[in-house]
Structure 1
Amino acid sequence: MYISTTQLQRLKRVQRLLDHLQPTADPEVVCVPDTKEPNDTVIIFTGSFNPPTIAHLALLKQGSRYAETQREPVHLYAAFSKRTVDKESVERPLLLDRVILLQDILRRRLPQAGILLFNRGLYVEQAQAIRHSFPRVKRILFLMGFDKIEQIFDPRYYKDRDASLAALFNLAELLVVPRGNDGEEALNKLLQQPQNQRFARYVRSQPFDASYRDISATLVREQAAGYLHDITHEVRRFMLGTRAYAQPVKRVDGSEVDIYNERIKYLSQLLGPVS
């Protein structure tokens, strides 16, 4: 379980940021080391990236293509939250490992994209964090799949849905790509509902290659048939090397050892408590 000095320093820098971010504090955002501070117009794709798939990468590339059509400077970011809505129970691999893995992928495949870390999970909270932390940002666009826009308009996530949505759209706009069979028609149907019509002008559909629509990080975690086609070689190497999604290994004496749990213990010895 050797970790080089260089890698250890990267892990330490990211873990310090994660330790700083508290989900119960006011909305806050920080840049992962080597990410340029946001300014002008920003496109942000927030996810759990557990693990990153080629669909995540394709969606970020779609964001990059949209940026190229704009007249003003546009900067692209992937983002994590210490509190991911509807995924709070997902504990492994560590958020620390996922941040480093995504950074490795983007450096090689989409170097213009940076990575942000939020302490809160709702988009309105993330928009507030951006506005507070980076006053040079003029315009915020959140990039997401159709499943996320359904979540945003779902009242069960809010004490006062309309007030929260008004606050969100006062700060940000949404770029939505299809997921599964839910394309532009499904998006239009959602936005035409009476309770949603007032917010429709802040949401715009984006094209997305149909071959990526059904790719699922859940199926990759479960190592379903054909999952290797849905991930990059960086993710394959991570899965093989850490066994983050694998079952415990049986020893000759019949006992079991969880390889990834051993990694967590090792990192904790080097870094202190890890997350």
Structure 2
Amino acid sequence: MSGGAFSARGTLSKDDRAELAALARVIEDLDPSGPPRIVFVLRASQGISGPGQRLGVFSASFNPLTRAHVRMMEQAMEEHALAEVMLVLDKVNVDKREVFGASLAERLWMLRRFATGRPRLSVAASSHGRFVDKTKALRMIYPEGTELTFIVGFDTLVRVFDPKYYADSEAELEGLFRHSQFIVANRGEVSMSEVRRWLKSPVCRPFVDRIHLMELDPFHARISATEVRARIDRGQPFAELVPPEIAPLIPKTGLTSSPPESSTVPPDP
């Protein structure tokens, strides 16, 4: 299935089909080989309105959106005075090259449904997967002086520092942390003490003042999109793991537990 494609798995209304088709076109128009670009599919009605405000950027696969994602964004807003949170879906993910489960259009559709009525949430699609590229695109669409703060799980932060994603990791990491900060949550069985220990490593030390820890409670730390898909595949209840707005939409999408056999991908947060 291509990233922007979608299929009618359940009963979709005419309006739903039209919305999915429009979202598929948004994704299709993004060019990962061109300059970094981020396109809104829903803009916060009471979000950032001037310079100097703090934007939370939550970039994930959202396959599907889970209660852990929601807790992360809500806790980040509370603890770090974020004026707005943008949920960003990448056309090309740096690790998960092939799209499986819900199509990208279906994921944007579910994200927009969740964000509708939440005036400080935006939803957008990105042409590029790297955070260093997203900072360039975000600075083009938000007021000058907007403070960019990425909301990530610990596993994602580890990948941020992996030199394989950069032509010049030292220079690009310096640029990334000059223009943005990170809020990092514990995920799975990783404890906050393990996260703190990792932050003392030589690669992190120059940027530690730009990395802020956020501790999730055990229930939310353990929830993953991978587990949601596994429950769906086994025919088990999954509603407790996803927001109530998302649960009735899932049967209308292509969510599944496993990627194509040729793919080797890490679990989804």
Asked if these proteins are the same fold (TM beyond 0.5), I'd say: yes
Q: How far apart, CA to CA, are the structure 1 residues paired with 2:18 and 2:86?
A: 23
Paired residues, what number? Answer: 242
Q: How far apart, CA to CA, are the structure 2 residues paired with 1:142 and 1:83?
A: 18
Q: Is 2:44–2:84's contact at 8 Å kept on the other side of the alignment? A: no
Residue 150 of structure 1 is matched in structure 2 by: 158
Residue 238 of structure 2 is matched in structure 1 by: 227
Residue 123 of structure 1 is matched in structure 2 by: 131
Unpaired runs of 5+ residues, structure 1, are 248-275
How far has the Cα of 1:246 moved from its partner? 8.0
Indicate the SS of the match to 1:235.
coil
Residue 208 of structure 1 is matched in structure 2 by: 216
Greater displacement, 3-12 / 151-160: 3-12
Q: How far apart, CA to CA, are the structure 2 residues paired with 1:100 and 1:3?
A: 12
Residue 147 of structure 2 is matched in structure 1 by: 139
- Matched to 1:54, the amino acid is R
How far has the Cα of 1:243 moved from its partner? 5.2
Indicate how the Cα distance of structure 1 residues 207 and 14 shifts in structure 2: closer, same or farther if over 3 A, else same. Answer: same
Tell me the alpha carbon deviations over residues 132-152 of structure 1, each in whole angstroms, 9 at most, x when there is no partner.
Answer: 233435210001111111111
Residue 56 of structure 2 is matched in structure 1 by: 43
Q: Is 2:30–2:126's contact at 8 Å kept on the other side of the alignment? A: yes
Q: How far apart, CA to CA, are the structure 2 residues paired with 1:15 and 1:120?
A: 16
Residue 261 of structure 1 is matched in structure 2 by: none
Indicate how the Cα distance of structure 1 residues 87 and 137 shifts in structure 2: closer, same or farther if over 3 A, else same. Answer: farther
Q: CA RMSD of the aligned region, Å?
A: 2.4
Q: How far apart, CA to CA, are the structure 2 residues paired with 1:180 and 1:57?
A: 16
Q: In terms of Rg, which structure is larger?
A: 1
Residue 30 of structure 1 is matched in structure 2 by: 39
How far has the Cα of 1:34 moved from its partner? 4.5
Greater displacement, 238-247 / 58-67: 238-247
- TM-score, normalised by the number of residues in structure 1: 0.79
Residue 239 (structure 1) aligned with residue 247 (structure 2): no
Indicate the SS of the match to 2:146.
strand
Match of 2:202 among 189, 194, 199: 194
Percent of matched pairs sharing the same residue: 25
* Larger fraction in helix: 1
Residues 260-271 of structure 1: matches in 2 within 5 Å? none
Residue 250 of structure 1 is matched in structure 2 by: none
